[in-house]
Amino acid sequence: MAVVFSATNEVIDPILANVVRSNQNKVAGWLQGESGSWGFLAGQAVINVRESAGRDLESSERRLIWSRMWWWLEQIKAGIHTAA
């Protein structure tokens, strides 16, 4: 029986934490307002979740991933959460 992928915070948070850890230079760029940093991080988030899901993501799933990635970055910016 195939495992069904569900894009929930509990499922995607570890993936997004890894995106943050693996791209700390882009996170720093985002914190400094560097052009293109958000797009890169959002793209990496979708790519990594898609690979974990083993399928293309629906538009609602991509929006959830972007929203959650933004949340992670805001937590880092506020000094609340560290993914490293």
The answer to whether residue 71 sits within a structural domain is yes
The answer to whether residue 83 sits within a structural domain is no
Supply φ then ψ for residue 49, to 5 degrees.
-70, -40
Task: Report pLDDT for 7.
Answer: 76
Task: Report pLDDT for 8.
Answer: 82
Token pair, residue 67, equals 């929203």
Task: Report pLDDT for 70.
Answer: 97
Domain hosting 18: range is: 9-77
The answer to whether residue 2 sits within a structural domain is no
pTM comes to 0.86
Q: Is 6 helix (H, G, I), strand (E, B) or coil?
A: coil
Token pair, residue 44, equals 């990496």
Query: What total number of domains does the chain contain?
Result: 1
Q: What is the CATH number of the domain that holds 23?
A: 1.10.10
Rounded distance between C-alpha atoms, residue 22 and residue 12, angstroms: 15
One pLDDT digit (tens) per residue for the chain, 84 residues: 445 667 788 999 999 999 999 999 999 999 999 999 999 999 999 999 999 999 999 999 999 999 999 999 999 999 975 554
